[in-house]
Chain A
Amino acid sequence: MSIVIQGLTKAFGGARALDGVDLDVADGEIHALLGPNGSGKSTLIGCLSGRLKPDLGSMTIGTESVAHFSPREAFAAGTAVIYQHFTLVGSLSVADNVFLGAELRAAGGRIDRARQVSVTREILGRIGARLDPRTPVRSLSVGEKQLVEIAKALRHDPQLLVLDEPTAALSELEARALGQQLRGLRASGLAILYVTHLLSEVFQIADRVTVLRDGRAVLHREIADLAPRDVIAAIAPRGGVEVARRRAPHLADGPAAVSLSGFRAPGVGPIDLTVAQGECVGVFGLLGSGRTELLEGIYGIRGETAGEVALSGAPFRPRSASASLKQGLALVPAERGRQSVFAAMSALDNVLLPFFARIGRRWWRSRRRERRQFADTAALLALDPPSPAAPAATFSGGNQQKLAVGRWLTASSRAQMLLLDDPTQGIDVGARADLYALVRQFVREPGRGVLFSSSDPEEVMALADRALVLARGHVAGELRGDELSPQALLDLAHGHAGGDSAPPSLPTTDRGAQ
């Protein structure tokens, strides 16, 4: 059954996440939904799945038109959403997972395993997946798990299948296989809404494309009428960036703050890379490109690494967080809640935790000096509120990130080389500008360098002196000076040569690292 969305609007606080979006998906169609981070994709999915209640607009499934769904109604109307993270139970078999919560019963209330296995086999066959329904899910690959998720959704005979970036965690082969299976489903008349970052996939499997930007549908067209360039231009329009850029290309020839040669960590490499002293280098990459693996690998928290690393010319072996910190290498990890912020602890604790012994004495803290140093750091960070005792949980996302970054900017920190993984993810514009200024200020001191990763082209434009583009674990290209533009970044990340209307292809691998 087709779905028609009209004038869908949803605001959070004052900001409109969706602003009058029209979108329709026909039966037997694969409709690709693209857009930069924060463009409203997840809000749209939230409305479709009944998790969010739109403020205005209507959604029509089949012939029935509603203003909003409850999750139960969305399910009853035949909407099935498959999220990036899996909802499978590892210790159960494929069939048991597919029927989890809706088990088939035999006489006497027993679970009818035989019938579950045969129905599962039939569903798996429909999507061309050759999996034994009796295999425990734990032993499957990520791609196979994705197929089980789809089978689980199909078990309820959905009318509309929504996939939220299903290929983010998949290898190239698995992504290709998934595309084929979706085409099979399309043939059976299912409407499919496919959210993705990967342009190559869009051109391989989609029938139509909608691009969201700032909550509006800025492109809504048949794929046959489009070239990849058009889509990229819709995602990141040329000239849309108005940031005071700071470029110092000549710096790249100075002494190195950090240099990697043939560096490998699980999921990324080999990579050659140099950050000169005084330089701020951006690593641009989409989800699954290996940007987190690279930064965490250098920091020494990703297990065994190979290749050579040098910090200010001295050889360095990534081993552990504390060993890296001792050498002046610090990381602000990507996941604030899990990896950097102590929600229940005070702002002062969050910033000064590693340095109490340094500020006071080895065995005795000096609260007076801690307070003074915190006040200085809070002023530097423009922390709001600048309160030492407020627990981190009471701060906004942007100010929590300031606490995490401030940890390595405070006077007691000896960090010379800062690694920032997706430093402004999910934070507001004001705090973002503050953080950019802080990072620039940090790198201005002699002997320092910054390596940051981002999936936001504008962020790279705003912060980087030079950018590397990662795709599927390899360097897809390097951009400096005037070459650096949102379009060039996206082109490389999507695996385009950068020429006009290059044919769509899967992202290429190592295109020669410098």
Chain B
Amino acid sequence: MRFDRTSLQRARTRAAASALLLGVVALLLTFSALNDAFLTVDNFRNVFIQASVISVVAVPMALLLIAGKVDLSVGSTLALGAVVTGLLITDGVPLPLAILAGVLAGAVVGLVNGLLVEVWDLSPIIVTLGALTAVRGIALTLAPDPVFGFPDGFLALGENELLGIPYLVLIAVAVFLLGAAVLARMPTGRHVYAIGVNPEAAYLSGVRVRRVGLWLFVATGAAAALAGVMLAARLGSAPSGALGVGFELDVLTAVILGGIAFNGGRGTIAGVFLGVLFLGVLQNGLTLENVPAATAMVVKGAVLVVAAGLDRVAVRSEASAAKVLLGAAGRDPRAPSGRTGEAAQPELAASVDTARAAR
């Protein structure tokens, strides 16, 4: 059991998670000292609602990154999902069908991305960079002008709550739970890590490397479209040209902040949750302090780089400390991801789309 805790991978994940947790706590303390309006139920309700949209995409994006791939087209896919659902609703199509159609549109984008990457062996960055532009074009073609005039039933999705918890937050909770379950408890979850760690060995061991990758792209596309539907319901309109612009960068920032390795094989859903929460609290606190949007962007960018730097330092010291200390009772190595579900429920994630709303 001597080696149980020396895993560099686990040390990294844990270091990132603990550094991030400290970061979240530090932010909470700072902002609550600065502003009385910060630590209130209403404000946190707001933080969580804003975070829910980003969370829905951050979870499948995290899986995609763990498998060593990436989807840069989610911002445009979000707009497509919003526009398709919005157009169908305003045409009188029943709500569930319209939402389903919007999500399916996103799944089709993901399927095309996935086929190009997994079957044609093209680089995921190139394919999804192309899709980023092309899908935005499709959204603009479908709806050259912003779609609005939604029925109350659809707007209720963005406003109403169940047992005091907003619908949007409930959706995000469900996505977090699903993501955590896939990674920790489903056979596919281990395959996702294996593909990120050593794709050739995964293939030789009989893992359906291409099939898993394909499904991850489909899931990410569908999730991005769902996020678009959620955003449209909250905003009460779906502006095809502006909705979700820059969204992919916010998602990637949160995911990487959460300790998911950009080149695959490492990370947990718990980390993603903390990453989303951190960015959401930061954005909300800066807004409350009346920090100009331009300055907030500089802060957000700097935070990402500093966090990455701290991660490295923490990893080094923890890896060397682990060698010396080891000690302590062995803990289930997969516990962090297993606990995600419970952790996700009480507090829910925060987001950065205030900035986008402000744009």
Which of A's residues lie within 8 Å of B, judged by CB? 299, 301, 321-322, 325, 331, 333, 338-346, 349, 353-354, 356-357, 360, 362-365, 385, 387, 389-391, 393-394, 407
Contact = CB atoms under 8 A, between A and B. Distances in A.
B206 A389 contact: no
A299 B190 CA distance: 24
A345 B193 contact: yes
B266 A344 contact: yes
Interface in B176-201: 185-187, 190-191, 193-194, 197-198, 200-201
B359 interface: no
Given A349-B194, A385-B3, A387-B1, 20 more contacts: A322-B207, A339-B204, A340-B205, A341-B198, A341-B201, A344-B7, A345-B194, A345-B197, A346-B333, A356-B190, A363-B186, A363-B187, A365-B187, A385-B1, A387-B2, A389-B332, A389-B333, A390-B1, A391-B9, A394-B3
Given A349-B190, A387-B3, A407-B205, A343 B333 contact: no
B3 A390 contact: yes
B8 interface: yes
Interface in B187-229: 187, 190-191, 193-194, 197-198, 200-208
B348 to A, nearest CB: 25
B213 to A, nearest CB: 14
B265 A353 contact: no
Interface in B9-23: 9-10
B4 A387 contact: yes
A331 B205 CA distance: 8
A341 B197 CA distance: 9
A388 to B, nearest CB: 9
B265 A344 contact: yes
Contacts of B332: 389
Nearest to B200: A339
A31 B10 CA distance: 50
Interface in B241-284: 265-266
Contacts of B266: 344
A407 B9 CA distance: 22
B6 A321 contact: no
A292 to B, nearest CB: 13
B96 interface: no
A301 B206 CA distance: 11
Given A344-B9, A345-B197, A365-B187, A301 B204 contact: yes
22 contacts: A321-B204, A321-B205, A321-B206, A333-B204, A340-B205, A341-B198, A342-B197, A344-B9, A344-B197, A345-B190, A346-B7, A349-B190, A349-B194, A353-B191, A365-B190, A385-B1, A385-B2, A389-B1, A389-B332, A393-B8, A394-B6, A407-B205
Contacts of B208: 322
B149 interface: no
Nearest to A323: B206
B230 to A, nearest CB: 26
Contacts of A385: 1-3
B198 A342 contact: yes
Contact of B207 (A333, A338, A354): A354
A321 B203 contact: yes
B185 A364 contact: yes
B207 to A, nearest CB: 7
A353 B3 contact: no
Contact of B330 (A354, A362, A389, A407): A389
Instruction: Please name the 8 residue pairs, one residue from A and one from B, whose CB atoms are nearest each other, closest first.
Output: A356-B187, A390-B3, A357-B187, A325-B206, A394-B3, A344-B9, A391-B7, A389-B333
B1 A331 contact: no
- Most central of B6, B205, B208 by chain A CB within 10 Å: B205
B202 to A, nearest CB: 8
Nearest to A332: B204
B320 to A, nearest CB: 15
A353 B188 CA distance: 10
Contacts of A344: 7-9, 197, 265-266
Contacts of B7: 344, 346, 390-391, 393-394
A159 B204 CA distance: 45
Interface centre among B6, B190, B330 (most CB of A within 10 A): B190
A338 B200 contact: yes
A353 B204 contact: no
B52 to A, nearest CB: 26
B205 to A, nearest CB: 5
A363 B193 CA distance: 16
A96 B256 CA distance: 40
Contacts of B191: 353
B6 to A, nearest CB: 6
B250 to A, nearest CB: 28
Q: Which of A338, A353, A365, A393 counts the most chain B CB atoms within 10 A?
A: A353
Contacts of B205: 321, 340, 353-354, 407
